[in-house]
Structure 1
Amino acid sequence: MTSRNACSPGLMTLLRVGGVFSPERLEATDILMAGGKIIALGNDFSIPKDWPIRVVEARDLIAVPAFIDQHVHVTGGGGEGGCGTRCPEITAREIAAMGIGTVVGVLGTDSISRSPADLLAKVRGLGAEGISAFMYTGAYRVPPPTLTGDIQRDLAWIPEVIGLGEIAISDHRSSQPRQDEIERLVSDTRIGAMLAGKRGICHFHIGGGKRGLEPLRRLLSETEIPADQVIPTHVNRHPALLEEAADYALAFNASVDVTAFEDAGDGLSGFDAVSRLLERGVAPERITMSSDCNGSLPEFDADGAYLGMKVAKNTTLIADWQRLVREGVLPLESALGLISTNVARVLGLHTNKGYLAIGFEADVTLLDRELQPQQTFVAGKCIYDVSRTE
């Protein structure tokens, strides 16, 4: 059974490609997948005729780890301008079409008309459609809304919950949490995650306020919390914040998350932000990129009054990432870390995601010469094939 149609049935799938990046380049052109895992890597595998296998001939494409987007408003964000400004939900196809196999759902400003229960239902729905989906419990506000009434119980008892977020700081939309409240939230998340065998990160929304990253600097300086427990996102909101983020990453050997803003406004694009962090000496392994997809991009005046908004898309994430490779800012092997390997490590998923290796989940994206996703596999199942959508 030989076919370019990656979505035809078969108990096993063999990808025959032009190259494999794990993210490092491998001496392999064949990937054999079964039971949701990669079971073999090699060259020119001989397949017995009676094996129930589909063979995907894609010698003009390269295989990379399916991308991971750690910040997606899967139920839609927004609402800052009233009920008419709620953003729409994202679809499985919109995710997979960008080569993304794994997402982490998040609530933002609005945790009233949208709840952690809504988020969990959407995450499980995406899972039923083939996307590997997780979520953060909580939202902007403090105390954070939860599923069970307790952060630790959410982490311990709900498999999809892998952390807390996005807690807003340095933003007029935040609850203005005190330093001791921030420390307690991170501590509760850490303990709950330990009990569940998870990483349990705290995903912090950083606004444009004057405090910037100061609460997180204090957290890491004044407590025993390790740096890999907290991830600040939107650090490219404005140039001064990005400079502070570079200092933060270097001082604490910490990771920072850049948002691929569709319209950077007073901030920096994902491309410019990553380029600047690298210039400042931040290691590529300490940088991740996310989309903020289906979240709102609101505009406020100097007094905080709402002026209007746009809806974020994940197309900008892929476009910024492609540009980093095309313009030689990073080689493909290192650039893949920004949206796969590094993200898997940050989230604590690195033992089975983020690499193309035997025993890892068969999450594979096939890219053309322009680095455009053509096919996306999650757990060995084809969930997007561009040839079937044209």
Structure 2
Amino acid sequence: MITLIKNVRAYQNGTWNEGEILIAGDKIEAMARKIDCTFPGMQVIDAEGMRCIPGYLDQHVHITGGGGEGGFANQVPPLPLSAPVRAGVTTLVGLLGTDGTTRSVESLVARAKAFNELGLTAFCLTGAYEFPSPTVTGSIKKDIVMIRECIGVKIAISDHRSMNMEKRDLVWLASQARQAGILSGKPGITHLHTGSGKAELDMLFDIVETTEIPIFNFRPTHLGGKFEAAMRWTEMGGYADFTCGNTHAETAGIVARALERATEGLVTMSTDGNGSFPIWNEKKEMVGIGAGSIANLHGVVKSLVLDKGLPLETAVAPCTRNVAKALGLYPQKGCVAPGSDADLILLDDTLSIDTVVAHGKTMLRHGALQFRANFEN
């Protein structure tokens, strides 16, 4: 498939330029002020008045559904196949959460494969909140090495729902993931749900300061309520991931502060899409529950621009370039440039998502899906 996007403004080499983008197959073939070419069956998209940004990368999505706190009726349903497309997410990482009992890593891998068959790019993490970690092969290392979609392991710390693992256990787990990453050419990350516990990131600081495991391999998330610890983490060279909550302006305020203070490139955003958002009282009793939405990523980007006054290229960096670099996917992902994957979003003059292209395939046009997802109305 060959596609020519005309009259579009794209950010490249530090500036916004109007021109045309030629897509051949799943790659961006060329970008220029004017591209004169005609091919049989070529698709032409007139993007007059629109801006082109990279497709979003969301590294924390409950693609098989999350939750379960409070009983079986509180399990969040799986992420619909169309949801990432509508949200502009062209690359996603699926994971488990509190429930590693009725949810399985096997079903997680299968769901990631489904998103890949659709035309998106999907990865997953082995493990869950619990320790020892649930796996497919019986080994964290083997899961990462042998399962194409698996790029790391998930665990929880500083949370009353976690297994309250000791330092030596987390060192062992992270070492398994790191060794697997080295053997397989993957990032081999240890992705950490961090709860509201008193220890915050203390165990991570201790491990980084007393062992040889690089800080790069640890990816703590949900850091909005641990802002100073998150800034200390970035000062040491670590990535700090902030969850895009349902109140976009609130998250945008936190992320804007982080972008101002943290080392450039080390702030990332993710959504916890289709994960549960339980509300706990001071006795750790659940008094309410909601769910995250993958659409929150774009909602926060819009708020960063419209409410906080950030340039669009700055606002999208935490969910494009920064995440792509963190996952070892840049410049294949996370930028609009010749040779990169043709994962693109076209934004209209209100910053609403008009068009989504994934691997060169137009998935959304004028806000309407260009494919039919099975079992969705």
Identify whether the pair has TM-score above 0.5, normalized to the shorter chain.
Answer: yes
Q: Which residue of 1 aligns with 2:132?
A: 143
Looking at structure 1, the residues matched to 13 and 297 of structure 2 have their Cα atoms a distance apart, in angstroms, of 18
Q: Which residue of 1 aligns with 2:374?
A: none
Looking at structure 2, the residues matched to 103 and 156 of structure 1 have their Cα atoms a distance apart, in angstroms, of 19
Alignment equivalent of 2:269, drawn from 279, 289, 293:
289
Looking at structure 2, the residues matched to 26 and 223 of structure 1 have their Cα atoms a distance apart, in angstroms, of 44
Does 2:47 correspond to 1:67?
A: no
* Count of aligned residue pairs for this structure pair: 370
Alignment of 1:57-96 (within 5 A): 57-96=46-85
Query: Given residue 251 of structure 2, which amino acid in structure 1 is its aligned partner?
Result: G
Looking at structure 2, the residues matched to 389 and 198 of structure 1 have their Cα atoms a distance apart, in angstroms, of 32
Query: Given residue 224 of structure 1, which amino acid in structure 2 is its aligned partner?
Result: E
Alignment equivalent of 2:170, drawn from 182, 187, 190:
182
Does 2:23 correspond to 1:20?
A: no
Looking at structure 1, the residues matched to 12 and 95 of structure 2 have their Cα atoms a distance apart, in angstroms, of 28
CA deviations on 1:304-351 (whole Å, 9 max, x unpaired) are: 222220111123221221111224553222222111100001111114
Does 2:80 correspond to 1:99?
A: no
Is 2:281–2:287's contact at 8 Å kept on the other side of the alignment?
yes
Looking at structure 1, the residues matched to 257 and 77 of structure 2 have their Cα atoms a distance apart, in angstroms, of 33
Query: 1:28: how far off?
Result: 5.1
Please state whether the residue corresponding to 2:82 is helix, strand or coil: helix
Is 1:76–1:90's contact at 8 Å kept on the other side of the alignment?
yes
CA deviations on 1:243-293 (whole Å, 9 max, x unpaired) are: 22112211x1211000011159xxx932121123245x2134110111101
Range 67-76 or range 19-28, more displaced: 19-28
Provide the TM-score with structure 1 as the length reference: 0.91
Please tell me the root mean square deviation across aligned C-alpha atoms, in Å. 1.8
Q: Which residue of 2 aligns with 1:321?
A: 301
Looking at structure 2, the residues matched to 316 and 133 of structure 1 have their Cα atoms a distance apart, in angstroms, of 18
Looking at structure 1, the residues matched to 296 and 13 of structure 2 have their Cα atoms a distance apart, in angstroms, of 21
Is 1:25–1:333's contact at 8 Å kept on the other side of the alignment?
no
Taking a change above 3 Å as real, the CA distance of residues 141 and 345 of structure 1, as seen in their structure-2 partners, is: same
Is 2:58–2:319's contact at 8 Å kept on the other side of the alignment?
yes
Please state whether the residue corresponding to 1:55 is helix, strand or coil: strand
Looking at structure 2, the residues matched to 144 and 327 of structure 1 have their Cα atoms a distance apart, in angstroms, of 41
Is 1:17–1:63's contact at 8 Å kept on the other side of the alignment?
no
| Unpaired segments ≥5 residues, structure 1 | 1-10
Range 77-86 or range 317-326, more displaced: 317-326
Is 2:280–2:288's contact at 8 Å kept on the other side of the alignment?
yes
Query: 1:45: how far off?
Result: 1.0
Please state whether the residue corresponding to 2:227 is helix, strand or coil: helix
Alignment of 1:194-273 (within 5 A): 194-236=182-224, 238=225, 241-250=226-235, 252-262=236-246, 269-273=250-254
Is 1:80–1:298's contact at 8 Å kept on the other side of the alignment?
yes
Provide the TM-score with structure 2 as the length reference: 0.94
Please state whether the residue corresponding to 1:29 is helix, strand or coil: strand
Please state whether the residue corresponding to 1:285 is helix, strand or coil: coil
CA deviations on 1:21-43 (whole Å, 9 max, x unpaired) are: 24843545211111211111112
Query: Given residue 244 of structure 1, which amino acid in structure 2 is its aligned partner?
Result: A
Please state whether the residue corresponding to 1:376 is helix, strand or coil: strand
| Unpaired segments ≥5 residues, structure 2 | 371-377
Query: 1:96: how far off?
Result: 0.9
Please state whether the residue corresponding to 1:18 is helix, strand or coil: strand
Query: 1:146: how far off?
Result: 1.0
Identity of aligned residues (%): 35
